[in-house]
Amino acid sequence: MLVERMRAHTSTIFAEMSALALRTGAINLGQGFPDTDGPPSLLSDAAANIHGGLNQYPPGVGVPELRSAVAEHQRRFYGLDVDPDTVLITTGATEAIAAAVLALCGPGDEVVTFQPYYDSYAATIALAGAELRAVALRPPSFGFDPDELRAAFSSRTRLVLVNTPHNPTGTVFDREQLTLIGELAAEHDAVVVTDEVYEHMVYDGRAHVPMATLPGLADRTLTISSVGKTFSVTGWKVGWVNGPAELVHAVRAVKQFLTYVSGAPFQPAIAAALALPDSFYTGLATDLQRKRDLLSDGLREAGFTVFDTAGTYFVVTDVTALGFTDGAEFCWTLPERIGVAAVPVSVFCADPDLGRSLVRFAFCKRDEVLEEAVSRLAALRTEVRA
């Protein structure tokens, strides 16, 4: 029944692994959602808005308070001068990405991105009828080869999709890497679309660099983020995109027929949350950095090869030292054997061999949950010896 272009994109590993975790009572470190709630003021503001009657269609572009708050957030954290009229509120970052790809790409166009990638990218590009050109990010640093990146561009490159901080690898692109991506985009007159949903989850004193802050790039860049990760409310699905007016207008044209609008009672509450003091944002990063260390140390103890994570919710490991060559096989058996669920990195790759022995774990969980997971994982060490 399904149209041909979507046939390779029918299942998501997250649903499958979460179902397996549920069935086996395993601790779910597969899907990246926090197990604690967002800031109390955010929750009570949203509840008050629902009871106060803010329950009908909001404006198609989003409520004015939130558009202004997003513009102010970009000024406060990155020194970017954003006109609230060029901010479009969407149904999560996912819709912003989909609307951007569908608005700007069609058959014959190519989209350059990096693999492994967030799973919606490939599906959305396929839906647009465009072609994916995925440049490998390889361990241990998960950087890219500049020549490979250069070779991925062609006269048909319409768009470059950049996710930093990067899911699943936890890498954070530095200024030099972003500058090269930007130069190649400019050379090929391609639009840059950035997925910055982990912008506030960067560790060890590093800084997140939005591509729109690089010289000359603001006028070809659509910057995307959302409420879900920053405020630990991944089920709310409110996101935003901003950039040059003509690009945002194109995205809006598609967005209005995907969902029209969403999240009326949430939008003003999110506007207030974006203005939370710096202590909220630094506290979030400090807290997650500690969780990263807790889980990374435990995985290392258990015998995994563990790669450094500079940002996001995730740590990537290699299971070769545990006697496995296939991360997917490892993940299918882990819940039953050990009581922990994780996801194989190969499912995020156009070329599954790239991430064959790699497995991703999420550390956005309560400390006691991570500690229990670590103690269960320690049993792997004994299993290998036996």
Contacting residues toward ligand PLP, per CB under 6 A? 92-94, 118, 163, 167, 195, 197, 226, 228-229, 234, 237, 239
CB 232 within 8 A of CB 38: yes
Contact 113, 135 (CB under 8 A): yes
Minimum distance from residue 93 beta carbon to ligand PLP (Å)? 4
Provide, rounded to whole angstroms, the least separation between the CB of residue 166 and ligand PLP. 7
Sign of CA dihedral 16, 19, 25, 30: positive
What is the three-class DSSP state of 325? Answer: coil
| Alpha-helix residue ranges (DSSP H) falling in 91-131 | 92-104, 119-128
What gap in Å lies between CA 62 and CA 66, rounded to an integer? 7
Shortest reach from residue 203's CB to ligand PLP, in Å: 16
Closest to ligand PLP by CB, 94 or 242:
94
If the CB atoms of residues 166 and 376 are measured against ligand PLP, the closer one turns out to be 166
Nearer to ligand PLP among residue 324 and residue 361 (C-beta): 361
For ligand PLP, the closer CB: 230 or 357 = 230
Closer to ligand PLP by CB, 322 or 358: give it.
358
Other C-beta atoms lying within 10 Å of the C-beta of residue 223: 26
- 127 vs 121: CA distance, rounded Å: 10
Residue at shortest CB range from ligand PLP: 92
Provide the minimum distance between the beta carbon of 107 and ligand PLP in the complex, in angstroms, as a whole number.
Answer: 25
Please state the closest distance from residue 148 (CB atom) to ligand PLP, in A: 21
Least separation in angstroms between residue 81's CB and ligand PLP is 24
Measured CA to CA, the distance from residue 190 to residue 121 in angstroms comes to 17
Task: For ligand PLP, give the closer residue by CB, 86 or 167.
Answer: 167
Alpha-carbon separation of residue 337 from 48, 177, 358, 384 (angstroms) = 45, 41, 18, 13
